[in-house]
């Protein structure tokens, strides 16, 4: 397999996507933040002093998706046509599951934007709850699905 992000001198480069066709592209990413049950209960009950944790994490995740090329060096700036984030509070496993879906029509995909959205949403939850739970763990961040472009459809086996 040829590495597309390496130039003739062996250094990193941004891939030229001019010859690619515009296609509808969708990516879904997933991640979790594990915490103490008391922290999860306080999020549910609206008792976190900094405010509504999941609402702020929703906005933070969307902002993360929109700013992905500013923090991932070789990521193309793209026009995102949609970004949605959902949360599931799992009391049995003491975690919040996060799923982000990003969309665009363009020459390059939105996988990095979906992964960044999940990561920033999790980091926002951590930031808002760290005063009561510094032992939170962010993990399981992964691409679940992607469609569009020359490589077609990817769907992670569950």
- Tens-place pLDDT, residues 90-137: 999 999 999 999 999 999 989 999 999 999 999 999 999 999 999 999
Closest CA to 99 of 65, 136, 137, 49: 65
Which tens digit of pLDDT belongs to each residue from 117-128? 999 999 999 999
d(CA 99, CA 57): 12
d(CA 27, CA 75): 15
Active site residues: 127
Number of Cβ atoms within 10 Å of the Cβ of 14: 13
pTM: 0.94
């Amino acid at each position: 397999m040829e590495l597309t992000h390496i130039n003739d001198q062996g250094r990193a480069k941004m891939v030229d996507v001019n010859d690619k066709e515009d296609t509808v592209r969708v990516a879904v990413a997933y991640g979790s933040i594990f915490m103490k049950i008391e922290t999860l209960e306080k999020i549910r009950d609206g008792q976190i002093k900094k405010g509504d944790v999941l609402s702020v994490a929703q906005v933070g995740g969307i902002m993360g998706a929109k700013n992905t090329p500013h923090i991932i060096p070789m990521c193309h700036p793209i026009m995102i046509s949609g970004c949605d984030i959902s949360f599931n509070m799992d009391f049995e496993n003491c975690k919040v599951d996060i799923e982000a879906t990003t969309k665009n029509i363009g020459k390059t995909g939105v996988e990095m934007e979906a992964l960044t959205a999940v990561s920033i949403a999790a980091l926002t939850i951590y930031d808002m709850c760290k005063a009561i739970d510094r032992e939170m763990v962010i993990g399981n961040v992964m691409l679940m699905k992607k469609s569009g472009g020359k490589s077609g459809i990817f769907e992670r086996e569950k």
